[in-house]
Structure formats: C-alpha cells, structure tokens
Chain A
C-alpha cells in the first residue's frame, strides 16, 4: 500500500507552485521595475528620486510614526489581556478570548465604517482629529493580531520556572520582569511583525476616516494608477527592506532563544 501514497516531494509541489507564482515571480517583477528606468536600463535613479524628495521621505516618516504608535499601543493593551487570559484561572476564559478574536471574522472595512459612525457621534467633525482617529482605527483593526501570538506564547510558558523564581525569593514584579517578560519575547516579536508592517501600508483605513495624507500604501497606489511602475516598485522594495530588517532582528531573538535552550540541554 505504501507505494500508492504521495511522496513528500510530490506533496510539496502545490506549495512550491504557489510560492513561485505568487511570491517569487512577483518579487522578480518588482525588483526588475525598481532597478530599471523607462527604457529598461539598470538604474538607481528611482531610489534617489524617493530619498531626495523631502515630501516622499516625509511620508515614510509619517508611516513609521503611525506604525510605531499603533504597535506600542497594541502591545500595551494586548499584553495584559493576553497575560490575564493565559494565566488567570476564571471560568469562561475561552469565551473571553473568543470575544477578542471575534472582530477578525468581520471584514475590516465594515468595522471601520461602524467605527467612523461612532466617532462622528462623539467627535462631531472627524477632520479635526485625523491623526488620533487613524491610530484608534489601526489599533482596533490590528489588536487581535497582537493578542493571539502573545496568548500562545504565554500559555506555553513553563509554570515551574515562575514557581522556581518565587522559591528563590523573587517578588511578583521581579518575576514578571526577570522571567515572564523575557520568555515572552518571541510572542512580542511575532505580534510586532504582524502589526508594524501592515499598519504602514493600510491606507484604506486612512481613506475611510478622512485622513487625506498619504502613507506608504497610498503612495504605491498613486504611482501605479499613474502607470509609474518603477517608482511604485521602489516603495515596495523599501518596505521589503524593512520587513527584512525586522525579521533579522526577530530571528536573532529566537535564535538566542534556541541557543540558550541548547545550552540548557547540554548542561
């Protein structure tokens, strides 16, 4: 019977096809456009174009500020929530987790539309609070993406380590900062990657709540609708570089984690 089963290699074919078609090929196209000019010659002009223009650099800074604040606020809200959900012992824990994850099942444009109407009732004229509203809606949009990885890491956290810390005389605050927080770093990292980069490009949120300033995502859209594939691709490459940097940093953390585990095993 064994011979009738697909081999591992065969099972990987659809996945590899998907990767090539929807990840590798588009990436090659983006790279091609970013490093060529209109006549197909290799050129770095497009990058100079981006970094020499104060306005486009301004938009990069603006996007990073929005993403940074969104990420920090998400983290500050999500961590206690995930901690309580993971460590607390109360009934209906799963129901509570469900409540936080539930919004993910509803399309985000619908959620933002609802948010817009609520904010209009509270604020009156949304145009005076554009930045605040942007952050608020981004946080609302991305919060579940921060809670879930944190919750996963915190539930897997070895309780005996906390008990050991208590036994060795650490108080609750010390236990948290010396044991729980460092051990949950992988969760924080994956939460941050899932919030930071998407919030740099999620321009639909800005459009919907009347913030007319461009962020990186809108800039790509704007270039593309003007048939300027080259400059649009440059923005994508810059974002890609940022993803790369963030992944490098997070790998270092998780590598460090593995290394320490390795060391512990050897001992």
Chain B
C-alpha cells in the first residue's frame, strides 16, 4: 500500500520500535518451543484481522463462505502446522512508508519477509538484500502453491518484464496488492473530462480546492505527465508501434531538463492546490473541503465507500496522459533468512497462504485494495467480484439504473479482449450498474484501455534520486526570491 501516515506517528512508532527491539536483549534465551520464528513486516492496516460479524459473511456462488473469526496471522500459524507438521510463530510488525521500512533495516532491524512497493523492491534487489524464491515455489502442480496457481497472468507478466541489473523482479518478489494512481473527484463540481487530465491540479478554476499526495514520486509522476502532455497524447505517439516502451521511457525520464521543467510545474501546483497531504485527503474529500484529490486506487475505494455512507457520490478517474501502475510484493530478506531452509519454507508458505483465494478476498474486503490473485482454477475471485458488483436486470429496473458490460478478462487471462474467444470474454465480463464505470469497480479493476497507458514508475539510481530530491526540496522550500518580489 502506498499510504502515508502522519510523519509524527511514524517518528513515535520508530522510537517505540527502537525501545521494543532493545527489550528482547534482556530476555535472550532459547525459545520455549522449537517453533520456526517468522518475522514479517507489512504496511499498517494491510491485512485482515478477523472477528467478522455473521452479517458480514461473504457467500459466494461456488459455495465458499467467508466469515473469519481469527486474524490472518493466527490462521496461518494453524494452517502451517496442519500442512507441514511444524510449528511456526509469526512476529508481525508494520511500517508506514517504503523509506521507513528501508531505514528500519538500515538501523539493524531484521525481518524475514517484507512487503515493499515496486521501486523499493528494485532498490533492494540492486543492493543484494533479497533472497530469491525457490523453484518449488513456482511449481503450480503443488496444491499448496496458491501463489503460482492463482496469480493473475497479467500481473505476472508485468513482474516478468521488470528487472534490474539483469535480475528479474519475479524471482525475488511475489505480488500482494496492486492498483493505479488517479484522481478522486466530486462529479457535481468537476466534469469527467476535467478529471481525466493531470493538469486539473493546475486548473485555476479549482484553485485551493484540490489536493496532491505529499510524496515525491507521485508528485513527479503527475508533474511529468503534465510536462509531456502534448507529446504523449499526440496521435503519432499513440499510434507508434513501440508506444508502450516510449511511454515508459518518457514518464521515467529523469534528465535535468525534464526535472527542471517538472520543478516549475510542481511549484505552480503548490501555489494552486489546497495542500500536499499525507493522510487527510480521504476525509477532506468526504467532508467536501476539497473537490478533487490525487489518490491511490485502494484508498479511492475507501473514500468512495465512506462518501456513500454519508450520502455523497464521488468518482475516480485514471488520467488520460498516463496512469501509474503500482504494486506491493512479498520479498524474502537475505539478512533474516540467512540460509535457513526451514525459514524459507515458512516464508514461502506465508505468501501462499495470503494468496489462497478465500484469504485474498478476506484481505481485499478488509483493506479495499485489489489482490494480484485471480485464482486460477478456483472461481472464488471472479465470484467475489460478481458478488460485489454484478446486478441483474430486475434490480436495475427497480433501482432505475442502467446496466453496462465491463470486461476484465485481461486480469484473469493476461490477454486483451480482441485475443479472447467469445465464451471466455463473456465469462469475465461483469454486468454492473453503469455508474461503476468511474467508481469502485473501475478503481479496483481498471479497464483495458487504462492498462494500455499504464506505466510502472521505476527505481531511480543514486544520481537520479539526488536530482529528484533536490527538485522536491526546491518545490517545498520557501521561495525567498519570489517573496521579495522576484519573478
């Protein structure tokens, strides 16, 4: 998840973690039992904690009923013992930003399994911090290998195509959640057309009523898309045979000309927007303080749900120029695993357990983000999407809404519509309220069209990072020159 908690809390948290990490030194000794200890670090509020009410139970068409009592961690410990005949004890901790996780490890915290975002995974691979998954993990014929069996072919392809220093991302990371970066907006104030362009952030009509994420990478993505707007929306560019790779290169460009231009754009955005927000954007959207806000898809789903409860209708858009495709993945850490085969087995089992379709659904339902799991032979995930969104004609008539066909075959098959046979296409087409075209369904599973213009923002190396961080400071620092009447 790419969610920022208030910096203040992360500082408090790190102090607490520091204290807690010192404490065990005193109690040093052997474990009471010979359980495998698995140290897992994940984003805050990024896993199901159980204790569902009976009314919350999800009953799927294929007969699966999901209504967990225990937390995911407890269930994993029980499942592991049952399946592998060994005891495991999970030590679960959380982090607030990728940088926080990285810094914690730099300071000496040791984990066996962590869940950073794509660029941080690349950084960790480049710094040789990660342990590759075993061959067995990818063996889809093993019944317990839920990840290999169930991962979406589309997402798998994205993983396979990303590499750094010749090392493939898919050897070191197993996906957890994925999504896009877009704009949540209030359709009563802002038109769909206005919300489909990043330059909404610069629109003086909505001056001081729009927020942007307080994150250098997300701001850079928006700024660079605005800078290159004319180029990347030109028909010559769009129709080029190597469109996708050109778009990737353009959005990931960090040469000084681009960085300087983006700095200029972001400075103008800073003057125009309500604020750079860390976590307040969701509440401010619901309360109406702001009318649009740059948001990650999962948080957008949360915001839209909250707003609905308050009787407000909000929408989500994935801008036309380019859409950021991001994901978080489970990685085994070399320092933690330390060549221990049993530990590696437990870590891989943990990922597999998270990837079991019913568990993936549990997590999705609890946190609002979209799992990378499509389910393979298991129809649970498709049934869950249908359970959440699909609507029959009768209900549509009763509620006076129009229905639409929403194909998401790409996610389940890895192929776009024009390559699919009619039967498969129909199977993976959701019939839903047409308002879902720019609402939760769209936020959770974007259309093919959006995926075609999606770009993974890759890791910047040391020089690039320095350039971009300097740019960010220049944007955020007080401009004395301008204040004193300069241009």
Q: Is the CB of A210 within 8 A of B275?
A: yes
Q: Is the CB of A127 within 8 A of B275?
A: yes
Q: Is the CB of B476 within 8 A of A212?
A: yes
B84-116 to A contact mask, C-beta < 8 Å, 1/0: 000000000000010110110010000000000
Q: Does A190 touch B at the CB level, under 8 Å?
A: no
Note all chain A residues with C-beta closer than 8 A to B274.
125-127, 210
Q: Is the CB of A227 within 8 A of B99?
A: yes
| Residues in B38-91 with C-beta less than 8 Å from chain A | none
| Residues in A179-207 with C-beta less than 8 Å from chain B | 203-204, 207
The binding surface of chain A is classed by DSSP as: helix
**Option from A61, A221, A226 in Cβ contact (under 8 Å) with B480:** A61
Q: Is the CB of B469 within 8 A of A226?
A: yes
Q: Does A219 touch B at the CB level, under 8 Å?
A: yes
Residues A212 and B276 in contact in the complex (CB < 8 Å), given A54-B480, A219-B473, A224-B103: yes
Q: Does A222 touch B at the CB level, under 8 Å?
A: yes
Q: Is the CB of B99 within 8 A of A226?
A: yes
Residues A58 and B478 in contact in the complex (CB < 8 Å), given A210-B275, A211-B275, A227-B99: yes
Q: Does B442 touch A at the CB level, under 8 Å?
A: no
Q: Does B159 touch A at the CB level, under 8 Å?
A: no
Note all chain B residues with C-beta closer than 8 A to A128.
208
The CA of A57 and the CA of B478, in the complex, are separated in Å by: 8
| Residues in B188-241 with C-beta less than 8 Å from chain A | 208-209, 214
Most chain A CB neighbours (cut-off 10 Å) among B100, B273, B275: B275
Q: Which residue of A lies closest to B106 (CB)?
A: A227
Note all chain B residues with C-beta closer than 8 A to A57.
480
The CA of A25 and the CA of B169, in the complex, are separated in Å by: 40
Q: Is the CB of A212 within 8 A of B270?
A: yes
**Option from B8, B270, B275, B472 in Cβ contact (under 8 Å) with A109:** B8
Q: Is the CB of B477 within 8 A of A58?
A: yes
A34-60 to B contact mask, C-beta < 8 Å, 1/0: 000000000000000000011111110
B469-487 to A contact mask, C-beta < 8 Å, 1/0: 1001110111111010000
Q: Is the CB of A125 within 8 A of B208?
A: yes
The CA of A219 and the CA of B477, in the complex, are separated in Å by: 8
**Option from A204, A210, A226 in Cβ contact (under 8 Å) with B465:** A226
The CA of A87 and the CA of B476, in the complex, are separated in Å by: 46
Residues A207 and B278 in contact in the complex (CB < 8 Å), given A224-B103, A226-B99: yes
The CA of A102 and the CA of B472, in the complex, are separated in Å by: 39
The smallest C-beta distance from B216 to any residue of chain A, in angstroms, reads 8
**Option from B270, B277, B477 in Cβ contact (under 8 Å) with A59:** B477
Residues A58 and B483 in contact in the complex (CB < 8 Å), given A127-B274, A224-B103: yes
Note all chain A residues with C-beta closer than 8 A to B289.
120, 125-126
A213-227 to B contact mask, C-beta < 8 Å, 1/0: 110001101101111
Q: Which residue of A lies closest to B274 (CB)?
A: A127
Residues A56 and B8 in contact in the complex (CB < 8 Å), given A127-B275, A212-B214, A225-B99: no
Note all chain B residues with C-beta closer than 8 A to A218.
476
Q: Which residue of A lies closest to B11 (CB)?
A: A221
Q: Does A83 touch B at the CB level, under 8 Å?
A: no
Q: Report the interface size for chain A: residues with CB under 8 A from the other chain.
A: 33
Q: Is the CB of B102 within 8 A of A222?
A: no
Q: Does A228 touch B at the CB level, under 8 Å?
A: yes
Note all chain B residues with C-beta closer than 8 A to A56.
473, 477
Q: Report the interface size for chain B: residues with CB under 8 A from the other chain.
A: 33
| Residues in B1-17 with C-beta less than 8 Å from chain A | 6-8
Note all chain A residues with C-beta closer than 8 A to B275.
127, 210-212
Q: Does A62 touch B at the CB level, under 8 Å?
A: yes
**Option from A213, A221, A225, A227 in Cβ contact (under 8 Å) with B477:** A213
Q: Which residue of B lies closest to A38 (CB)?
A: B462
The smallest C-beta distance from B25 to any residue of chain A, in angstroms, reads 14
Residues A55 and B465 in contact in the complex (CB < 8 Å), given A109-B8, A204-B8, A221-B7: no
Q: Is the CB of A204 within 8 A of B476?
A: no
The CA of A56 and the CA of B472, in the complex, are separated in Å by: 12
The CA of A54 and the CA of B486, in the complex, are separated in Å by: 12
The smallest C-beta distance from B117 to any residue of chain A, in angstroms, reads 14
The CA of A125 and the CA of B275, in the complex, are separated in Å by: 11
Note all chain B residues with C-beta closer than 8 A to A204.
6-8
Most chain B CB neighbours (cut-off 10 Å) among A55, A62, A120, A214: A55
Most chain B CB neighbours (cut-off 10 Å) among A62, A203, A211: A62
Q: Which residue of B lies closest to A204 (CB)?
A: B8
The CA of A42 and the CA of B355, in the complex, are separated in Å by: 50
| Residues in A205-249 with C-beta less than 8 Å from chain B | 207-208, 210-214, 218-219, 221-222, 224-228
Q: Is the CB of B473 within 8 A of A54?
A: no
The smallest C-beta distance from B234 to any residue of chain A, in angstroms, reads 33
The CA of A227 and the CA of B216, in the complex, are separated in Å by: 14
**Option from B280, B469, B477 in Cβ contact (under 8 Å) with A214:** B477
**Option from A109, A213, A226 in Cβ contact (under 8 Å) with B478:** A213
Residues A58 and B481 in contact in the complex (CB < 8 Å), given A207-B278, A218-B476: yes
The smallest C-beta distance from B166 to any residue of chain A, in angstroms, reads 24
The CA of A55 and the CA of B472, in the complex, are separated in Å by: 11
Note all chain A residues with C-beta closer than 8 A to B469.
222, 226, 228
Most chain A CB neighbours (cut-off 10 Å) among B8, B102, B208, B477: B477
New contact pairs (8) apart from A62-B477, A109-B8, A120-B289, CB-CB < 8 Å: A55-B480, A57-B480, A62-B480, A204-B6, A207-B214, A208-B280, A210-B275, A212-B275
Q: Provide a sorted-by-A list of 28 A–B residue pairs whose CB atoms are within 8 angstroms.
A: A54-B481, A55-B479, A62-B477, A62-B478, A125-B274, A127-B274, A128-B208, A204-B7, A204-B8, A207-B7, A207-B8, A210-B274, A210-B275, A210-B277, A211-B275, A212-B276, A213-B477, A213-B478, A214-B478, A219-B473, A221-B7, A222-B473, A222-B476, A224-B103, A225-B99, A226-B469, A227-B102, A227-B106
